[in-house]
Amino acid sequence: MRRALLAAALLLAPAFAPTAAQAKVNLAEAPIGRTDLPWWNARWHATLVEKAAHPNARLVWLGDSITYYWQRQGGHGYDDIKPVWDKYYGPYDALDFGFIGDTTASLIWRLDHGQVAGLHLKLAIILIGANNFGRVHWDAAMTVPGIESVVANTQKRLPGAHILLLGVLPCIRGPWVDAQTIATNADLAKHYEGNEGVTFVDLRHLFIKDGKVDASLFVDPHLTPPEPALHPDREGMTMIAQAIAPIVKKYEN
């Protein structure tokens, strides 16, 4: 019986083995939608409605939950971030297209399916990559091409917009994530150095104190139960807005 089962397994194995082409696919730069998740699907349609309501928008943020947190009004001061958005981006009739849990692959899917279609923007700010180092566990070697694909896709769909690419922000999720974050940002800085259409900015220094990530600048440690520092709080987001304000101002008209 064992021999029969083994023979059957060997016969079936080739049918399930990936082809050489499939084995080389980098999922971090492949369009992967999340429309099977009801809440994500609802968010997707909400952003399309929001886009239609702001035909004169001059600026868009594209990203994951960190970008989504611009709209947070938690009522505790540290997590009342929406007023910071209103101050720095309200004058631009800006759009916030941040999706909780999105990887580079999900953002590519959104771009492919009309996320910014019909818009005539001056500036697109991209902050993506943190979730690549999470559950899907895509390292820097996968993530860098994924972010580059996001940038190229955005340029194709918004040919008149300058791209402000922010480096993956530091967090407190372990040594492996730290290493991938640093490696990713170093590669992106090198790749976009001197690029006239893309400005790359690494904001890691804003969140470092005494050589370590400053947990006091994040919302997550305040939660019940506390979670690893990942999402900047009101002060952290204000620091981000202030740091990139000179670049944003260049594209206000």
Other C-beta atoms within 10 Å of 137: how many? 11
Does pLDDT of 7 surpass 80? no
Domain count, the chain: 1
Is the model more confident about 176 or about 4? 176
Q: What is the pLDDT of residue 23?
A: 52
Burial status of residue 6 (CB atoms within 10 A of its CB: 0-12, 13-18, 19 or more): exposed
* Virtual torsion, Cα 130, 22, 40, 112, nearest 10 deg: 90
For the chain, the three-class secondary structure string (H helix, E strand, C coil) is CHHHHHHHHHHHHHHHCCCHHHHCCCHHHCCCCCCCCHHHHHHHHHHHHHHHHCCCCCEEEEECHHHHHHHCECCCCCCECHHHHHHHHHHHCCEEEECCCCCHHHHHHHHHCCCCCCCCCCEEEEECCHHHHCCCCCCHHHHHHHHHHHHHHHHHHCCCCEEEEECCCCCCCCHHHHHHHHHHHHHHHHHCCCCCCEEEECCHHHHEECCEECHHHECHHHCCCCCCCCCECHHHHHHHHHHHHHHHHCCCC
Backbone angles phi, psi at 56, to 5 degrees: -105, 15
| Residue among 61, 88, 107, 50 nearest 234 (CA) | 88
Q: What residues make up the domain containing 245?
A: 2-249
CATH number, position 241: 3.40.50.1110
40-97: pLDDT as tens digits = 999 999 999 999 999 999 999 999 999 999 999 999 999 999 999 999 999 999 999 9
Q: What pTM does this model have? A: 0.90
Q: What is the pLDDT of residue 253?
A: 79
Is the model more confident about 22 or about 188? 188
117-143: pLDDT as tens digits = 999 999 999 999 999 999 999 999 999
Q: What is the pLDDT of residue 95?
A: 98
Does pLDDT of 151 surpass 70? yes
